[in-house]
Structure formats: structure tokens, C-alpha cells
A and B are shown apart, each in its own frame.
Chain A
Amino acid sequence: NAGVMQNPRHLVRRRGQEARLRCSPMKGHSHVYWYRQLPEEGLKFMVYLQKENIIDESGMPKERFSAEFPKEGPSILRIQQVVRGDSAAYFCASSPRTSSSYNEQFFGPGTRLTVL
């Protein structure tokens, strides 16, 4: 059973370009979470999605960032017009949430974004 997959593992973009980060959850998991880990900072929640729905986006920056989790295919975190401050490790986690009390989140290896 493959774990959470993220690609690319490393991404280099110049200021002003777009970054697209992909996350394929574990098999059977329909809930996806994105977190960001900035240098010298902790791991911060960004957004929580279920298939075709955004459940909680309270951690998403108001501009330039968007996320989707379509019916088919991976979840995408999109950053438009990247700036140097976007350089960070972006982690995706997935969970089955088969019951109201079960929220075990399994993390992918992360995508390390570097903005030049």
C-alpha cells in the first residue's frame, strides 16, 4: 500500500512564476491537508479538502494561493506569482476519516520550493 505521494520533491521557480504542487493521498483516503514549514518556523496548517470540496482554508494566504482536490486525480496546491517568502517545504497529509473520532493523518515526503 503506497503512502502519500508528492511531486515534485524539489521545485525551483523564479519570482513571478507559478508553482504547482501535487499530492496523491493514500489509497482509500478521501481527505487531504496541506501544511507549510518555513525555515526556522514550525509546521503550519494551510487548507483541508475533501473530494471536490474545501472544508477549511483558514490557514491559506488570502492572495496567490489556491488548492483543489478534484473527483479524479491528485490534489493541487497552486501558488501564483511566487515571491522569495514562499520558499518552504510544503507537506501534504491524508486521512480516511471513516468515523468522527478518527483523524490519523499520514504525511507525504514534502515538496521543497525554492524561489530565486
Chain B
Amino acid sequence: SQELEQSPQSLIVQEGKNLTINCTSSKTLYGLYWYKQKYGEGLIFLMMLQKGGEEKSHEKITAKLDEKKQQSSLHITASQPSHAGIYLCGADWNQGGKLIFGQGTELSVKP
């Protein structure tokens, strides 16, 4: 069974629109990481969340972790074509080092 579920799997939005990507864990997280991947390239670190209720923002991207530390959301405000790519959430469940990743959300932004 998939321990980390991302939704939606793909998303097409008009430039300027807001959007949200969700990541749900089957168990309490120690840390939750958001990355962006351009097709055929490596992963770019976006944000890391550790505390229940934590919220972080960078430019037009905001990530939140719920109080129970089992669900995170990534919100993009006023999307731009440069936001297009695959967004991956990664879970660290026991401070063990390895990250378990969701299946990814492919975002397309139409000009």
C-alpha cells in the first residue's frame, strides 16, 4: 500500500490562477519535504516542515503541515509558467535519513 499519497496526480491551470497540491501520510511524520522536478532534471528543494501547524512561504509558494503531522498542502498563488513541473512530497517518518516520496503531481500552467 502507498504510504504517502499525493493529489491530484496532474493539474492544468491558467496562468494567474491559484492552486493547491496535497500530500497525505498513513502515519505521523517526523519531517515533510517538498521538491520540484523539471522533466529530465534533478530535484530542487522547496521547503521542509517539521512542527505540527507549521507554515512556510517562499515567494508565491506556501506549504503547511497539519497539527496531527499527517497531511501537508502546497499552495501556489498567481501561478506562472515557471511554476510548471513535477512537485514531489517526501516523508521522513523516523529521523532515519531516507525519504519516502509520493508519486508526484505534474503541474502545467497555460499562458
Contacts and interface: CB of A to CB of B under 8 A. Distances in A.
Interface of A: 4, 31, 33, 35, 42-45, 48, 55-56, 58-59, 91, 93, 97, 100-101, 103-110, 112
A45 B97 CA distance: 10
Closest A-B pairs by Cβ, 4 of them? A107-B43, A45-B98, A109-B42, A43-B101
Contacts of B90: 43, 105
Contact of A103 (B31, B42, B100, B101): B31
20 contacts: A4-B42, A31-B97, A33-B99, A42-B101, A43-B43, A43-B104, A45-B98, A45-B99, A56-B96, A56-B97, A56-B98, A59-B98, A97-B97, A101-B95, A103-B48, A103-B95, A105-B33, A105-B45, A107-B42, A109-B41
B88 interface: yes
Contacts of A35: 99, 101
B100 A45 contact: yes
B55 interface: no
Nearest to A105: B99
A104 B48 contact: yes
Given A103-B31, A107-B45, A43 B98 contact: no
A116 to B, nearest CB: 19
A91 B104 contact: no
A93 B43 CA distance: 9
A59 B102 CA distance: 16
A78 B58 CA distance: 38
